[in-house]
Amino acid sequence: MQQPDLTTYRYLVLAEGHFGPLTSKTANSAVRFLPDRVLGIVDSTRAGQTVQDVLGFGGEIPIMGSMEEGLRLNPTALLIGIAPQGGALPPAWRPALTAAIRAGLHVVAGLHAYLADDAELSSLAAEHGVRIHDLRRPPAGLPVSKGHARNIGAYSVLTVGTDCNIGKMTAGLRIRDALRARDAKVGFAATGQTGILIEGWGIAVDAVVADFIGGAAETLVLKAAEGNDIVMVEGQGSLVHPGYSGVTLGLLHGSMPDGMILCHQPTRTCPYGAGNPYSWMPLPSVPEMIRIVEGAIAPLRPSPVIGVSLVTFDMDEAAARDEVARIQDLTGLPTTDPVRFGAEPLADAILRAAARKKGN
């Protein structure tokens, strides 16, 4: 689970042809959470712009037109900045990878296809003395979950969502930071490649053999609880996503959270938004989704949704504030967009719930 080198690399990020607010989740999270260690992005279709121009955050980090230009920034590692659905390495990227390795860069990737298993890349890496980190590769010997995670002393919180790619990791990290600002001892259980990149440890639960999803989650929660009073568990997928719901339920039942934070994007009406393979199904409303996630864990233990985290970057500020207020009224739960308006209301809700657990 531990990959300590990850906490020191200075990255050039490959996002060729796909750098954008919705298309380069790994790159964007690296910018958001490791801004001092992202030296530049490679995307020839955006060359000359800054990250701020494209994402609306990220400041002056430059977007480079080629690997050659990017290498002049003196990075120590190349990060694959997008995670294509299905997870395979697009053949067009191979020249960029070999160029990076030849230039002495380590390679960090979160694809389902493990780069270290690629004969050309691994022998080239050995020749040039660099490491290939496949963030998604699971550790050996994972157990089948037994429900042990329900017995930790810390208060555990899982971020869940109405959909994939809807702010579950970001909410978790923002809440963690807000909790630490209040001097709480918080562990973060990273369950996806981007969370592992940021934290330096974790297990990508979507990459384990299906029987061990829950066991991976249980293993992570037990470790993240050590020496901490609160555990934030990074959520994955959605219980209503036709492609990924199995990962989500396994994570829910393996992590056995004391409470949950529900993540939602008000403008999204079907999985991944309109015009995609899932446009045939509507997303549940926030109250419906609260019933679904609470109902899914109820047979194992009671676990309430204790707050709502919204993604509102595509709404103007007045509309976003109105929506936060509307959802808060509708659900009776603390609601915020943790990126836009701060995570404090959710951190405070967790502190109150943790105090109640400790008092019992």
| Residue 143 within binding range of a second copy, rule CB under 8 A | yes
- Comparing CA positions, the residue from 168, 322, 299, 324 lying closest to residue 232 is 168
**Centroid of chain to Cα 245:** 16
Q: Least distance (Å) from a second copy to the CB of residue 168? A: 16
Instruction: State which of positions 157-176 bind a second copy (CB under 8 A).
Output: none
Select the residue interacting with a second copy from 17, 62, 65, 243 (CB under 8 A): 243
Q: Least distance (Å) from a second copy to the CB of residue 214? A: 5
**Per-position DSSP letters for 14-63, written without gaps between them:** E-TTT-STTT-HHHHHHHHH-GGGEEEEE-GGGTT-BHHHHHS-STT-BE
Q: Least distance (Å) from a second copy to the CB of residue 77? A: 25
Q: Name which of 256 and 320 has its Cβ closer to a second copy.
A: 256
| Residue 280 within binding range of a second copy, rule CB under 8 A | yes
What are the residues whose beta carbons fall under 8 Å from the beta carbon of 252, sequence distance 6 or more?
158, 160, 239, 293, 296, 297
Strand 132-134 versus strand 106-109 pairing type: parallel
Instruction: State which of positions 97-116 bind a second copy (CB under 8 A).
Output: 112
| Residue 274 within binding range of a second copy, rule CB under 8 A | no
| Residue 144 within binding range of a second copy, rule CB under 8 A | yes
Span interacting with a second copy, options 90-98, 276-284, 308-316, 341-349, rule CB under 8 A = 276-284
Q: Do the Cβ atoms of 213 and 149 come closer than 8 Å?
A: no
Q: Do the Cβ atoms of 210 and 218 come closer than 8 Å?
A: no
Q: Least distance (Å) from a second copy to the CB of residue 277? A: 4
Q: Name which of 7 and 279 has its Cβ closer to a second copy.
A: 279
User: What distance in Å separates the CA atoms of residue 235 and residue 105, rounded to the nearest whole number?
Assistant: 31
Report the interface residues with a second copy, using CB under 8 A.
85-87, 112, 143-147, 205-211, 213-215, 239-251, 253-254, 256, 277-278, 280-281, 284, 288, 292, 295-296, 299-301
